[in-house]
Structure 1
């Protein structure tokens, strides 16, 4: 699988280098973008491992949970559970990953689709790293854990302890806002721009609604996810614009001096005056 991923990345980069045209508003660099993507994917792997190694709750800990301890803005969602809404949320979630295909009918975007693919991969790798590491590090019970009609086994499961923040909403928001941002940059005078941005807001908002009613996340979990995804979807293309020479966003990682392992990871943001 790793070899296949590497091959796909190489093909995308080669396509980008060969297909980048003058009409593209973006600039890409094989080395810098390669490091960005490789670091992002590596941090995703670290985050997934952290999620898998999380501990679930004991039965006593579940019984000790009290809705009154939850913020008022979230308290109304405690106990939500809907398997149907949870399954329904996957349809717009997966569909959002294909949104960049909407660029294909346009000559300018189609001629630079390899370059757009690089930016898209960077966007999703970045938001994925932020989500997985946060979900792995933060222990917060999902709303469904407060529902006493659900089997105790499901309420105790470690998967039920990663409510913050919403991965579905973050990924959908990143894909949707990336699509809107790139569309506007390639078509600054298009009358469709307001509708494209409206869609970028509505799609992840709908996913967030379903993830809340299904008992997977509280409102604040999804609001944070929406913001993280939107910011990533907008900033990654913006950083690569030819007219932007001052803003730079990059993934970071630091290791213990004694070599015991990774102890710091995240994103670096720099602005040159």
Structure 2
């Protein structure tokens, strides 16, 4: 699945239309960034992520006595099917998919000539986007206790008593993978809005975090609901953060005076505000 999705995304990026020989070498970036604004935001998100990691380190694991009291019946029916799952091979596969996507997403974007002309800006946006997801993830995991699915079985060894065994909500691997892939698809779309490769790009962006979510369920690391939240958050951050930097956003609103008569014959006047979607 990892190679399948990566090949799709790589192939789609190669299919992007290249500038004509007479066209300008470097296209205009669809994004507007300012170091004085974005640098403090990025640093702030990094600080929040660090705080979240600190909170995670302060958590306690479960004792053997506490583990003995756990019952699958305590798990909501929606998630109960995965209670007790444990698989080291699924965990390894999920790690490769997740960490590989974090490197592959910006790497594959560099294959596109238009993106490459503004690569420093894109990398800055990528870092900010990933930190936005990470800040929410670490602070949530650091303050919310939910037992991982494998605690409801007998496997896991010493990891059953680890402090990270209570970090089930929400799925960080899935969230970070979705952020990376949807960011790549969003940036590709903004630089190549008319590319016929877009269905393949968005398809690969959606499939890869879904594959990661599957491995995390099989590994007993997260329930389905944890993965759904992680997927939704990651995909949202991957699209929204670049969108907030789109050029011309401030021009999306227009104002015009209006006047007339209503159904009762009374005259009215005012200001009409419209927003281009």
Aligned partner of 2:58 in structure 1 is 53
Matches within 5 A, 1:14-163: 23-98=28-103, 99-151=105-157, 153-163=158-168
Q: Give yes or no for contact 2:27–2:117 (8 Å, CA) kept in 1.
A: no
Structure 1 CA distance for aligned equivalents of residues 156 and 108 of structure 2: 41
**Cα offset for 1:105?**
2.7
**Structure number, greater radius of gyration:** 2
**Runs of 4+ in structure 1 displaced over 3 angstroms?**
none
1:107 to 1:242, Cα distance in 2 relative to 1, 3 A = same
TM-score by length of 2: 0.79
Q: Give yes or no for contact 1:78–1:147 (8 Å, CA) kept in 2.
A: yes
Q: Give yes or no for contact 2:101–2:177 (8 Å, CA) kept in 1.
A: yes
RMSD, matched Cα: 1.7
Structure 1 CA distance for aligned equivalents of residues 200 and 27 of structure 2: 27
Structure 1 CA distance for aligned equivalents of residues 27 and 126 of structure 2: 19
Q: Give yes or no for contact 1:131–1:167 (8 Å, CA) kept in 2.
A: yes
Structure 1 CA distance for aligned equivalents of residues 61 and 142 of structure 2: 12
Structure 2 CA distance for aligned equivalents of residues 234 and 162 of structure 1: 26
**Cα offset for 1:61?**
1.6
Structure 2 CA distance for aligned equivalents of residues 189 and 22 of structure 1: 14
1:244 to 1:147, Cα distance in 2 relative to 1, 3 A = same
TM-score by length of 1: 0.80
User: Which blocks of at least 5 consecutive residues in structure 1 are unaligned?
Assistant: 1-20, 248-272
Q: Give yes or no for contact 1:79–1:145 (8 Å, CA) kept in 2.
A: yes
Structure 2 CA distance for aligned equivalents of residues 222 and 57 of structure 1: 23
Structure 1 CA distance for aligned equivalents of residues 89 and 71 of structure 2: 26
**Cα offset for 1:106?**
2.5
For residue 33 of structure 2, give the secondary structure of its aligned residue in structure 1: coil
Structure 2 CA distance for aligned equivalents of residues 150 and 121 of structure 1: 34
Q: Give yes or no for contact 1:145–1:156 (8 Å, CA) kept in 2.
A: no
